[in-house]
Amino acid sequence: MRISVEEVFETVKMTLDHHFDIRTVTVGINLKDCMDRNLSGLGRRIEKRIVEKGKLLNKFADIIEQKYGIPITNRRIAVTPASLLLEPLPKKISTVVGLAKILDRAAKKADIDFIGGFGAMVQKGMTAAEENLLNAIPDALSKTERVCGFLNLASTIAGMNMDAVAKFGHILKKLAAKTPNGIGCAKIAVFANVPEDNPFMAGANHGIGEPDYSLNIGISGPGVVRDVVLQNPDCDLTQLSEVIKKTVFKITRAGELIGREMAELMGIDFGIVDISLASTTSAGDSVAEIIEAMGVKQIGLPGSTAALALLMDAVKKGGAMASGNIGGLSGTFIPVSEDAGMIRAVKSGSLNLEKLEALTSVCSVGMDMFAVPGDTPAEVLSAIIADELSIGVINNKTTGVRVIPVPGKKQGDIVHFGGLLGSAPIMKVAKSASPKLIARGGRIPSPIQALRN
């Protein structure tokens, strides 16, 4: 379907008044052909490739911004999962940290905001290289600035790797202790059913089913959607769904035009448009405030899950109408620290950890950017992760977790992360959960729907 320039200019008012932007342009880069038995040889090849493509990304992002007047907030790169690159190398912590530093140095040289893909697919089991990567995460992410990691710990086809889930609770504790306010934990997300083309950090990676290069776009427009909801205070929910759907249609078309033009300028494949509504801490740029504009007194109160389900459905339908290249996560983010409405709800007591988990059953991301006391036991963190990922496994959808155990902080304290990461109230969490369940290890089998093929 041809997309006209006129359609993009329709979004200028959205851009000026309601924070519409292209949240990220992310170039996926295949590094499998750079593999080497020597870290320095691997490093030379991948650094050359990342810097070259990163500079092109910045150059053409600037040109597109000036041409259409739509801000491109982040320029990012996603690479082949690092565990694959580590397979031929010595199984040492220092090797993994060395690879992370190479990726970090390349991102800095290219002036790229973040580089994703430092992770592994371990939903069924772990190779020696993958286990070595997991053990090295606290050192690797505490000694780098722009490297982001992911772990796929579960899938509908494979079930859930409880050995890896149990290990990750301890990894989080170590990583939190090595970084100010535990901020290193914001740079890694764990998933069930992770997509291979997600342009958003921290979970971005360039999956093994992707081409050598691809350009993926993450759009955002919670402020735009909130505004149209406020403009329709008396319509019924069927009509409101249509209003939201038409709005998302417009911003998706704009995102695809920009993505296709940038990919053509760079000489690489256009990948997908991720239509997720991504909050920021700016006034009015809040998914929680969309839910409240729909008629819920405050997010977290009864009615919140139903309203979020309606929003999710309308977003997906609007995006699917606009483009045949929808991918990534494509739904609604509800991060606590990055959404002013979510922060208010936690402070007032209307939103707790249990309701946050319930909301994720109808959203596309999961329990994102929430902070808990620093003395939360590792097995409790693992149990929270297992609960959330099980929602994704059973429902054949992506779910993820980014939890930050903040050293020295207790329930009710506020921790300031800065920038896009915002501020988070420390949420109440159980001091003991299911240590015997977590200690059993093994694998939770895949649900019967895994046998559909």
Collapsed DSSP state (helix, strand, coil) of residue 29: strand
**pLDDT, tens digit (0-9, with 9 covering 90-100), for 171-205:** 999 999 999 999 999 999 999 999 999 999 988 99
pLDDT of residue 16: 47
- Listing DSSP states for 83-142 in one string gives HHHHTTS---HHHHHHHHHHHHHHHHHHT-SEEEEEEEE-SS---HHHHHHHHHHHHHHH
First to last CA, the chain: 32
Say what the pLDDT of residue 8 is. Answer: 53
**327 belongs to a structural domain:** no
d(CA 285, CA 333): 12
Instruction: Provide the number of structural domains found in the chain.
Output: 1
- Taking the C-alpha atoms of residue 86 and residue 93, their distance in angstroms, rounded to an integer, is 11
Structure tokens at 436: 């015997």
Domain for residue 15, yes or no?
no
Q: Residue 58 domain-assigned?
A: yes
- Mean pLDDT (the chain, rounded): 90
332: which 2 tokens?
Answer: 């609604």
Evaluate whether residue 129 is within a structural domain: yes
Tell me the backbone φ, ψ of residue 76, rounded to 5 degrees: -135, 165
Residue 265 located in a structural domain: no
Q: Domain of residue 118: give its range.
A: 25-192
Q: Give the CATH number for residue 40.
A: 3.20.70.20
Does a structural domain hold residue 50?
Answer: yes
In a domain, 450, yes or no: no
CB contact at 8 A, 279 and 343? no
Name the residue with tokens 């939903």: 123
Which tens digit of pLDDT belongs to each residue from 219-255?
A: 877 888 998 999 999 999 999 999 999 989 988 888 8
Q: Would 12 be classed as within a structural domain? A: no
What pLDDT score does 353 carry? 94
The 8-class DSSP code of residue 226 comes to H
Low-confidence ranges of the chain (pLDDT < 50): 1, 16, 18
